[in-house]
């Protein structure tokens, strides 16, 4: 049986200065490590504000290769602190091909690998298809010093297929680095239900797969008053039965440090054996876009 592990979730506000954001993230990683976190996850695209609020070709300058400056700096920090770091970066693969990519760095500073965001949204103030090529690495697991993990990114969190495949790889926890918030014009009417749906769908992944789920969102307002987003924070960890065991506020920078016990997975899967009863012989229709 795998040993207990502690995760650290870093929920923070971002400025227009990538260097300033990186320094802040490093400081918070150190604080999380001091509090006992062993696997520390940053929010989606933590180096910058959420630039996908507009379509602006100049913003491709924010992208960098992987390995590259940010992955190397995080690797040195991980090694110094003896922690695993999950970071979310704007990856420049080559001229004209960019990805929204999460990296996993082991506690010895080794870059274990990366996950490229598979589901790319295109909605008002979330114009990600302009920037990101869909991922092509599947839904991998990563064996870290403190346990086997999976990472998906933001819009992926609405898709049970991704969570299922990641879980079938044997991970103990799925991390979801995230950047999601309210359109100010919608908040009063729909805000509460939107946040509840976001929380509920991820809790359902935990329940359906008997796995820990950690969502790491940013907070703060970004953009103009007329066309900005109010990121709703609310980073949380759910246990394998979908119970929220720690949750951050909507509007403050916070660091959550949460202990996860894989024995909880074993207990849940014995009593709710959804994986046992899957009819894998009958699911081929799911590979079609629509059943005409």
Residue 190 in domain: yes
Catalytic residue among 14, 44, 91, 230: 44
Q: Is the dihedral of CA 58, 124, 161, 264 positive or negative?
A: positive
Catalytic residue among 117, 128, 247, 254: 117
Distances (CA, A) of 160 to 43, 164, 175, 207: 21, 6, 14, 11
Residue 45 in domain: yes
Residue 171 in domain: yes
E-strand ranges in 57-195 read 84-94, 97-105, 111-116, 122-123, 126-127, 141-144, 147-151, 173-178, 181-182
Phi-psi region of 125 (alpha: psi -120 to 50; beta: other; left: phi over 0): left
What is the span of the domain harbouring residue 79? 5-287
- Asked whether the beta carbons of 103 and 66 are under 8 A apart, the reply is yes
24 is catalytic: no
Catalytic residue among 14, 41, 154, 260: 154
The count of other CB atoms within 10 Å of the CB of residue 19 is 9
Strand order of the sheet with strand 141-144? Answer: 141-144, 147-151, 173-178, 212-217, 236-238, 244-247
- Residue 2: per-residue pLDDT: 78
- Residue 1: per-residue pLDDT: 59
Residue 157 in domain: yes
44 is catalytic: yes
Q: Is 188 helix (H, G, I), strand (E, B) or coil?
A: helix
Whichever domain contains 246, its CATH number is 3.60.110.10
Number of domains in the chain: 1
> In which element (H, E) is residue 76 found?
helix 69-81
DSSP strand pairing (39-42 vs 84-94): parallel
117 is catalytic: yes
Q: Is 9 helix (H, G, I), strand (E, B) or coil?
A: strand
Query: Tens-digit pLDDT profile for the chain (292 aa)?
Result: 579 999 999 999 999 999 999 999 999 999 999 999 999 999 999 999 999 999 999 999 999 999 999 999 999 999 999 999 999 999 999 999 999 999 999 999 999 999 999 999 999 999 999 999 999 999 999 999 999 999 999 999 999 999 999 999 999 999 999 999 999 999 999 999 999 999 999 999 999 999 999 999 999 999 988 789 999 999 999 999 999 999 999 999 999 999 999 999 999 999 999 999 999 999 999 999 999 9
Task: Find, among 116, 140, 137, 138, the residue nearest to 128 by Cα.
Answer: 116
The residue written with tokens 């879980």 in the block is: 167
What tokens were used for 41? 């996850």
Residue 292 in domain: no
Residue 155 in domain: yes
């Amino acid at each position: 049986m795998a040993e207990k592990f502690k995760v650290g979730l870093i929920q923070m506000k971002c400025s227009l200065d990538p260097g300033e954001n990186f320094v802040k993230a490093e400081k918070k990683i150190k604080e999380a490590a001091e509090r006992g976190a062993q696997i520390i996850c940053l929010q989606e695209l933590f180096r910058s504000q959420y630039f996908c609020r507009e379509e602006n070709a100049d913003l491709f300058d924010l992208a960098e290769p992987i390995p590259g400056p940010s992955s190397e700096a995080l690797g040195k920090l991980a090694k110094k602190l003896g922690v695993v770091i999950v970071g979310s970066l704007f990856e420049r693969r080559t001229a004209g091909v960019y990805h929204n990519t999460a990296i996993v760095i082991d506690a010895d500073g080794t870059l274990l690998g990366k996950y490229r965001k598979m589901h790319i949204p295109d909605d008002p103030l979330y114009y990600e298809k302009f920037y990101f090529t869909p991922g092509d690495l599947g839904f991998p697991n990563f064996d870290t010093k403190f346990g086997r993990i999976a990472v998906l990114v933001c819009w992926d969190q609405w898709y049970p297929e991704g969570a299922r495949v990641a879980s079938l790889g044997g991970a103990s926890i799925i991390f979801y680095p995230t950047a999601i918030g309210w359109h100010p014009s919608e908040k009063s009417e729909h805000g509460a239900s939107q946040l509840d749906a976001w929380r509920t769908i991820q809790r359902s992944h935990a329940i359906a797969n008997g796995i820990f789920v950690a969502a790491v969102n940013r907070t703060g307002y970004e953009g103009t008053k007329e066309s900005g987003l109010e990121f709703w924070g609310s980073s949380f960890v759910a246990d394998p039965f979908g119970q929220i065991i720690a949750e951050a506020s909507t509007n403050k920078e916070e660091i959550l440090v949460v202990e996860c016990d894989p024995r909880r997975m074993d207990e849940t899967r014995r009593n709710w054996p959804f994986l046992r009863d899957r009819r894998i012989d009958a699911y081929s229709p799911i590979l079609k876009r629509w059943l005409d």
